[in-house]
């Protein structure tokens, strides 16, 4: 992958609404994906981001172009990888990152902008960073997820993938499967109770029409991963 830049660091605080913030997924020490989002709000409830359809993104793939989900994990661990440019093809979506939580909650919609459900992405909690001209949050995706329908019925997702990868502790970035499941169960209680944000908040959200769709990533998108406590 490209050499990572080392710009001056700024103390990460709350992000200003409208600012572009990079949502970066780190797999262990490797950059797995980068998605440029727009800050909707950043307050005591957490950070709310908008990812627009057509946004320029980057993803990690094997040198032959296959992605991590195109092969058994045992094969992936032995391959050289590279970062390639891509485009967010899905409909625009909201990503909500609660404070001090090991998950984010995505609000999906169809092409007409109608809410279609929540997606609980279990991930090691977001670490903010701010380099001045570019800022972001770094997460470690823990693969196991919870899919939630508009009526709040839910199901686990990617359990087979999660179990498969746990068999390779020297390569897999998830260290404690029990903690991941416990986080999912904690969120499921909130889902079943209809607690925020599963109470309908933001399900009719419409982005600011003046926000441009990012045609490329800003310089500094490939900076080193933010240190974790």
pLDDT in tens, 173-197: 999 999 999 999 999 999 999 999 9
Cβ–Cβ < 8 Å for 26, 227 = no
Instruction: Answer yes or no: is 212 within a domain.
Output: no
| Inside any domain, residue 14 | no
146/198 Cα distance (integer angstroms)? 13
pLDDT tens-digit readout, 140-161: 999 999 999 999 999 999 999 9
Return d(Cα 127, Cα 125) in angstroms, integer. Answer: 7
In sequence order, which residues have a C-beta less than 8 Å from that of residue 100 and are 6 or more positions away?
A: 125
Per-residue pLDDT averaged across 85-114, rounded? Answer: 96
| Mean pLDDT computed over 162-179 | 96
Q: What is the pTM assigned to this prediction?
A: 0.94
Write down the pLDDT at residue 229: 82
161 located within any domain: yes
Would 123 be classed as within a structural domain?
yes
| Burial (CB count within 10 angstroms: exposed 0-12, middle 13-18, buried 19+), residue 133 | exposed
Which pLDDT does position 125 carry in this prediction? Answer: 93
In a domain, 207, yes or no: no
The per-residue pLDDT for 3 is: 43
Buried b (16+ CB within 10 A) or exposed e, 61-81: bbeeeeebeeeebeebeeeeb
CATH number of 83's domain: 2.40.380.10
Long-range contacts of 207-212 (CB under 8 A, 24+ apart): 207/38, 207/40, 207/50, 207/52, 207/92, 208/18, 208/38, 211/18, 211/38, 211/50, 211/52
Mean pLDDT taken over the chain:
94
Mode of pairing for the β-strands spanning 46-51 and 154-157: unpaired
User: If pLDDT is split at 50, 70 and 90, which confidence band does 12 have?
Assistant: confident
Cα Rg for the chain, rounded, in angstroms?
17
- Is 225 part of any domain? no
Q: How many domains does the chain have?
A: 1
In terms of residue numbers, what domain contains 150?
20-193
Q: Tally the C-alpha atoms within 13 A of residue 165's C-alpha that lie toward its C-beta.
A: 24
First to last CA, the chain: 26
Do the Cβ atoms of 125 and 211 come closer than 8 Å?
A: no
Q: How confident is the model at residue 218 (pLDDT cuts 50, 70, 90)?
A: very high
Q: Is residue 176 part of a domain?
A: yes
210 falls within a domain = no
Report how far Cα 144 is from the mean position of its chain's Cα atoms: 13
């Amino acid at each position: 992958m490209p050499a990572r830049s080392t710009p001056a660091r700024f103390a990460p605080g709350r992000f200003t609404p409208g600012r572009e913030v990079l949502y970066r997924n780190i797999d262990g020490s490797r950059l797995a994906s980068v998605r440029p989002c727009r800050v909707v709000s950043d307050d005591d409830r957490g950070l709310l981001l908008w990812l627009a359809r057509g946004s320029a993104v980057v993803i990690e793939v094997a040198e032959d172009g296959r992605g991590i989900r195109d092969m058994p994990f045992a094969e992936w661990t032995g391959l050289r990888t590279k970062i390639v440019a891509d485009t967010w093809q899905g409909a625009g979506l909201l990503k909500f990152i609660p404070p001090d939580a090991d998950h984010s909650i995505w609000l999906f919609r169809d092409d007409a902008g109608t809410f279609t459900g929540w997606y609980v992405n279990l991930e090691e909690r977001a670490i903010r960073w701010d380099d001045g001209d570019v800022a972001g949050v770094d997460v470690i995706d823990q693969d196991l997820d919870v899919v939630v329908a508009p009526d709040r019925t839910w199901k686990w997702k990617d359990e087979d993938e999660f179990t498969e990868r746990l068999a390779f502790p020297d390569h897999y970035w998830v260290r404690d499967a029990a903690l991941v499941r416990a986080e999912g169960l904690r969120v499921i209680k909130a889902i079943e109770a209809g607690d925020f944000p599963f109470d309908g908040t933001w399900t009719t959200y419409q982005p600011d029409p003046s926000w441009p769709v990012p045609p490329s990533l800003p310089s500094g998108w490939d900076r080193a991963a933010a240190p974790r406590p």
